[in-house]
Amino acid sequence: MGELVNDAQSFYNVRTVERPNIEHDLDAIIAKYRPIVSFRVKKSLGSYTPDWEDVVNEIMLNAIEKLESGKFRGESSVGTFIYTITSRRIIDHIRKKSKSLKYAPEPNPFPQPQEHVENKERAEMIARHLEKLKPKYKEILYLYYYKELSRDEVAKKLDISPRRVSERVNYAQKLLKKMMKK
């Protein structure tokens, strides 16, 4: 997997030296889309799929190769182009995996923050902040995200409009962001 990244980078380095002003600055493309592709892959495969990072690397490499070889002619945005590659690769992966699903290891019981310690610490910190929110905000987060009631159900239960539910949730998120900055 490290190899793939290196390949992609050396590939890119050579090209930018030759054409420093090409429209698709590959470095910027990698920096911009890698997190998005990662998010999409993790969401579809689950972050406890051990090889999700390999899948991301393959997608990025594939995208770069296509951009490089001129197969991408700008008939869509770069974003849509990479989105399409990502979706196809994910479908492939799931198809292959579901054949051997029987032997797959037991996944984690809950959407655990990914293995990495810093992600766990982050989730832990967010939780501590959320605990401190006013009951009004905690209640709505509890019903909407923890119990997964629909927006209309939450609205009914709290006797507010559905629009107000979204606003309150957004505000809770804003408060959280503020607390995280401190």
Both tokens assigned to 147: 């119990």
CA-closest candidate to residue 37, choices 58, 7, 19, 67:
58
Q: Which residue has the tokens 């967010």?
A: 126
Burial class (CB in 10 A: 0-12, 13-18, 19+), 54: middle
Please report how close the Cβ of residue 58 comes to other proteins at its closest, in angstroms: 17
CA 9 to each of CA 32, 56, 60, 180: distance values in angstroms, whole numbers, following the listed order: 15, 15, 11, 34
CA 97 to each of CA 24, 45, 47, 51: distance values in angstroms, whole numbers, following the listed order: 33, 10, 15, 11
Binding site for other proteins (CB under 8 A): 32-33, 35-36, 39-40, 43-46, 77, 79-80, 82-83, 86-87, 106-113, 122-124, 126-127, 130-131, 138-139, 141-142, 144-151, 153, 166, 169, 173, 176-177
* Residue nearer to other proteins on the CB measure, 12 or 144: 144
Please report how close the Cβ of residue 136 comes to other proteins at its closest, in angstroms: 12
Please report how close the Cβ of residue 127 comes to other proteins at its closest, in angstroms: 4
* Residue nearer to other proteins on the CB measure, 8 or 59: 59
Q: Is the dihedral of CA 127, 131, 137, 143 positive or negative?
A: positive
Rounded to 5 degrees, φ, ψ at 69 are: -80, 0
* Residue nearer to other proteins on the CB measure, 17 or 146: 146
Please report how close the Cβ of residue 56 comes to other proteins at its closest, in angstroms: 14
* Residue nearer to other proteins on the CB measure, 20 or 182: 182
* Residue nearer to other proteins on the CB measure, 18 or 99: 99
Please report how close the Cβ of residue 168 comes to other proteins at its closest, in angstroms: 12
